[in-house]
């Protein structure tokens, strides 16, 4: 099993955003962690910044100091990527680049979630 965990400012807000964008209910939703199954072997986790900051301690900067700085992207294949991008924007995301054919063989749109994490929503063409 693989799990990608995003550090978020507001777990409830992020849970609502991803539930609406992915059109699914979290498989785990407890204080300190929300999880969505992206496939049988991959999960997306949402962990509050203040919670992980306690674990990281003085070894690394507080995650809030990096909000909105693009360092990676979550690349998701979704049917009707344009519709998923629209749902993301309607739920507090920001459009970065509209859905369009890319030279690597995918049709992809780029949005951010409410914390500034980059989501690439793709379809193969």
CATH for 88: 3.10.180.10
Q: Which domain holds residue 49?
A: 2-124
Q: What is the residue whose two structure tokens read 């992020």?
A: 14
Kindly report whether the global pTM for this prediction surpasses the value 0.85.
yes
Task: Give tens-digit pLDDT for 95-122.
Answer: 999 999 999 999 999 999 999 999 999 9
Say if residue 76's pLDDT is above 90.
yes
Give the pLDDT of residue 125.
81
Cα 49 to Cα 29, 32, 34, 108, distances in angstroms: 16, 9, 13, 29
Our count of domains for the chain comes to 1
How large is the average pLDDT for residues 51-65? Answer: 94
Say if residue 67's pLDDT is above 90.
no
Say if residue 63's pLDDT is above 90.
yes
Contacts for 50 with CB less than 8 Å, ≥ 6 apart? none
Taking the C-alpha atoms of residue 92 and residue 8, their distance in angstroms, rounded to an integer, is 14
pLDDT averaged over every residue in the chain: 96
Give the pLDDT of residue 53.
95
Tell me what percent of the residues of the chain surpass a pLDDT of 70. 100
Cβ–Cβ < 8 Å for 122, 11: no
């Amino acid at each position: 099993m693989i799990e990608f965990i995003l550090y978020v400012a507001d777990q409830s807000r992020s849970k609502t955003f991803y539930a609406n964008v992915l059109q699914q209910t979290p498989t785990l939703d407890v204080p300190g962690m929300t999880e969505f199954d992206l496939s049988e072997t991959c999960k997306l986790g949402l962990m509050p910044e203040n919670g992980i900051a306690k674990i990281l301690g003085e070894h690394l900067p507080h995650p809030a100091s990096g909000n909105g700085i693009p360092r990676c992207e979550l690349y998701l294949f979704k049917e009707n990527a344009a519709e998923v991008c629209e749902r993301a924007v309607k739920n507090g995301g920001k459009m970065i680049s509209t859905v369009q054919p890319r030279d690597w063989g995918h049709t992809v749109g780029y949005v951010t979630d409410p914390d500034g994490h980059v989501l690439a929503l793709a379809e193969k063409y």
